Amino acid sequence: MQEDKKLLSIYFTAGYPSLNDTVKIIQDLESSGIDMIEIGLPFSDPLADGPTIQNSSTAALKNGMTTNLLFEQLKDIRKTVSIPLILMGYFNPMLQYGVEAFCAKCQEIGIDGLILPDLPLAVYQDEYETIFKKYDLKNVFLITPQTSDERIKQIDDASNAFIYMVSSASVTGSKSGFGNVQEQYFDRIAGMNLNNPQIVGFGINNADTFNQATKNAKGAIIGSAFIKHLTENDVNTISEFVSEIR
Amino acid sequence: MNYNVNEKGYYGEFGGAYIPEMLYPNVEELRQNYLKVMAEPEFKKEFDQLLKDYVGRPSPLYFAKRLSEKYNTKVYLKREDLNHTGAHKVNNTIGQILMAKRLKKTRIIAETGAGQHGVATATVCALMGMQCVVYMGEIDIARQAPNVARMKMLGAEVRPALSGSRTLKDATNEAIRDWINNPVDTHYIIGSAIGPHPYPDMVTRFQSIISEEIKWQLKEKEGRENPDYVVACIGGGSNAAGTYFHFLDKKEVGIIAVEAAGKGVDSGESAATSALGKEGVIHGCKTLLMQTKDGQITEPYSISAGLDYPGVGPLHAHLYKSGRGEFYSATDDEAMNSGLELTKLEGIIPAIESSHALAVFKHKTFKPDDVVVISLSGRGDKDLDNYIKYFNL
């Protein structure tokens, strides 16, 4: 990969639009040139998500998605897909599965890392970091425009893959376009010379916002806009969505 | 055994702050300041003054003579129903609005189930001239119409929660999302002893005025500060936390919690969290939680909108797990009949939530000389429609 190429990452909710779309979506995203995928494990009460991802989660659960089923669907994914795969979900389903069993299963499948928005840094470090490391799983933390420099440094020290830069104070899917606040925030973070690359998420829905977000950062994540595309079109049009972004 | 929150925000194994990073600055600001602010003499003075002159405290500790005769024991009712706005909720909203002002917040959000906390929040916002948005499940908006009208009169905007079961759990989700979207100017007044640390402890401390008063009131009436039992209903558990607080370390005081069994603990339509819940994470804390094997939160049910919640505050999860608390659950039928019984025997129409606490007599027999203090957390005006329908009045 060229040094200056910006990463484009896509989030989707496993089990949506149909229960068994998971593998096809991952394969089509890779063949469309996507660099990394966040596979969303649906949750009944997704606190940090706006209506688009909430609705896809509710639909996925109604379709019958479970933690066990997702692992089953993904068991041979590494035979066909080589780009980094991240599981993204809320902490309670992982807690009920058993944190260690969950991590072991991720390693067995070939999952590279986890994003758990409601597992805070302190709890991770006190209780789970050794388990994540044992199974060679990266943990990805979020930062926001309100996160202090001091805490960003703590998060940078605890990170071993990339930092998820939430673009603005919002739940997912609620804002589009970036203003002065974002520009200043992007510049502030770029000036901190962090060890981990930053990937920007929330509010990215087209080529313009992608280019703005990745001016300084390593890459960007699109979630709600992709879910919306799947809802309005169908799972056979993934490459069309990707080609409009870059 | 320790029943106070530790420095990391846990009661035993329950509690903590399981929040997305977007909420960290707000919750951390509150955590660093809440004890300091509450200890300021000026804050205490303003809080005490408002509780006295505005809320009407102390609330009476009433010896319920005919109820006592019926159950052959000594029953006292802590009359939180006589507070301004009709329930214990206002103790906490007064405290939190003063806290929000100290933290220079200008906008208030809240969740509400039965509407009591929403009304109590809208009331203090009117009092302080602050902008107020209350999230309420669409179903609850329909079944608690008078409280919705009250909130609107008080100048609050009532926003319906349209996701999930469209009740208290979902209203809480929406309020949290609002806070994520408005991280700088907004304070979230959580109404129950739930949420990320420091909320359960802060709410408990604001509500602890209930047990503080019980102590001196009982001393006047019975010559002793400590009753044999304190009894309260539990949804999230704020009135219970306040009723128990000063007795938690007194081994001789029995702590009794009554949850909502709905149509029966095993009916699939229940909110009896201690019986049906497992350890999990909801709304920012680790606690007992009704959920599927897969960790998806399930929809609770109770005739009482205020108890219709799939979790319980972390203090109460600890009281249950450690055996300090005695937990019972009352069905809709038991609660409704206990509410009617109090009305006939004592001339007091209780909130359906409080009727669950009164249903303790259907589950436990007390000794004749036991002193049993029951928290009458709210009045029944808001529930008249439910009583009318249930009893064909």
Give the confidence band of A176 by pLDDT, cuts at 50, 70, 90: low
Which residues in chain B are closer than 8 Å to A148, comparing Cβ atoms?
A: 25
**How far is the alpha carbon of A158 from chain B, nearest alpha carbon, in Å?**
14
**pTM value?**
0.96
In a domain? residue A134: yes
Q: Any residues with CB less than 8 A from the CB of B265 and at least 6 apart, and which?
A: B272, B275, B276, B329
B184 & B242 share domain: no
Residues 140-159 of A with CB under 8 A from B: 141-144, 146-148, 151
**Dist CA B42 CA B196 (whole Å):** 27
- Identify the DSSP state of B156: -
Q: Is B377 a catalytic residue?
A: yes
Mean predicted confidence (pLDDT) in A98-125: 97
Provide residues of B within 8 Å CB-CB of chain A: 8, 16-22, 24-25, 163-164, 169, 173, 176-177, 180-184, 278-284, 289, 291, 293-298
The CATH number of the domain holding residue A33 is 3.20.20.70
B317 with B183, same domain: the answer is no
Taking alpha carbons only, the member of B240, B276, B277, B238 closest to residue B258 is B240
- Please state, rounded to an integer, the average pLDDT across all residues of chain B: 96
Residue contact B184–A146, C-beta within 8 A: yes
Is the preceding peptide bond at B350 cis, omega within 30 degrees of 0? no
Residue B182 lies in a domain: yes
Residues B151 and B297 in one domain: no
Rounded to 5 degrees, φ, ψ at B185 are -95, -5
Residue of A nearest to B169 (CA): A45
Min mean pLDDT across A130-139, A162-171, B44-53 is at A162-171
Q: Are residues B233 and B334 in the same domain?
A: yes
Q: Are residues B77 and B100 in the same domain?
A: no
Tokens at residue A8, please? 């484009």
In a domain, A104, yes or no: yes
Residue that terminates a domain, selected from B202, B237, B271:
B202
Higher pLDDT: B336 or B145? It is B336
Tell me the one-letter amino acid at B293: K
User: Is A94 an interface residue toward B (CB < 8 Å)?
Assistant: yes
User: B202, B220, B240 — which closes off a domain?
Assistant: B202
Domain limits for position A62: 7-245
**Residue A177 — φ and ψ, nearest 5°?**
85, 145
Q: Please check whether residues B322 and B240 belong to one and the same domain.
A: yes
CATH number at residue B225: 3.40.50.1100
Task: Please answer yes or no on whether A142 and B20 come within 8 Å at the CB atom.
Answer: yes
Distance from CA of A183 to the nearest CA of B (A): 18
A2 in a domain, yes or no? Answer: no
Residues B161-206 pLDDT 10s:
998 778 889 999 999 999 999 989 999 999 999 999 999 999 999 9
- Segment A137-161, tens digit of pLDDT: 999 999 999 999 999 999 999 999 9
Same domain, B221 and B282: yes
Q: pLDDT tens, B91-133?
A: 999 999 999 999 999 999 999 988 999 999 999 999 999 999 9
Domain assignment present for residue A144? The answer is yes
Q: Domain range for residue B302?
A: 56-87+208-391
* Identity of the residue in A95, A144, A147 whose CB atom sits nearest the CB atom of B280: A95
Asked whether residue B272 falls in the same domain as residue B241, the answer is: yes
Q: Are B136 and B247 found together in one domain?
A: no
Domain end point (choices B172, B202, B232): B202
Rounded to whole angstroms, how far apart are CA atoms B14 and B280? 9
The answer to whether residue A1 is domain-embedded is: no
Residue in B18, B25, B294 closest to A118 by CB = B18
The answer, for A8 touching chain B at a CB cutoff of 8 Å, is: no
Minimal Cβ distance to B21: which of A97, A147, A171 = A147
B300 and B186 within one domain: no
Query: Which residues of chain B have a CB within 8 Å of the CB of A97?
Result: 294-295
pLDDT at residue B383 tops 70: yes
Chain A residues touching B283 at Cβ < 8 A: 45, 47
Q: Number of folded domains in chain A?
A: 1
Angle formed at CA B253 by CA B252 and CA B258, multiple of 5 degrees: 145
Write a three-state SS string for A141-210.
CEECCCCCHHHHHHHHHHCCCCEEEECCCCCCCCCCCCCHHHHHHHHHHHCCCCCCCEEEECCCCCHHHH
In the residue annotation, B213 being an active-site residue is answered as no
Residue B294 and residue A67: Cβ atoms within 8 Å? yes
ipTM: 0.94
Would you tell me which residues 60-89 of chain A have a C-beta closer than 8 angstroms to some C-beta of chain B? 61, 66-68
Q: How far does B273 lie from chain A, in Å, by closest CA? A: 16
Q: Is residue A230 part of a domain?
A: yes
B15 in a structural domain: no
Given a contact cutoff of 8 angstroms between Cβ atoms, the answer to whether B107 and B179 are in contact is no
Band the pLDDT of A170: cuts 50, 70, 90: confident
Q: Are residues B44 and B95 in the same domain?
A: yes
The percent of residues above 70 in pLDDT, for chain A, comes to 98
> Mean pLDDT, to the nearest integer, of B54-59?
98
Tokens coding A170 = 């919002």
Our count of domains for chain B comes to: 2
Residue B191 lies in a domain: yes
CA angle at B183 for the pair B179 and B184, rounded to the nearest 5° = 135
Candidate from B177, B182, B279 with C-beta closest to A47: B177
Sheet strands (E) in B60-201: 61-63, 74-79, 107-112, 131-137, 157-161, 186-189
- Give the list of residues 6+ apart from residue B129 with CB closer than 8 angstroms, or none: none
Which site among B13, B14, B24, B293 would you substitute to test the A interface, given the most A Cβ atoms closer than 10 Å to its Cβ? B24
| Residue A208: how many other CB atoms lie within 10 Å | 13
Same structural domain, B180 and B227:
no
Q: What is the mean pLDDT of residues B221-231?
A: 98
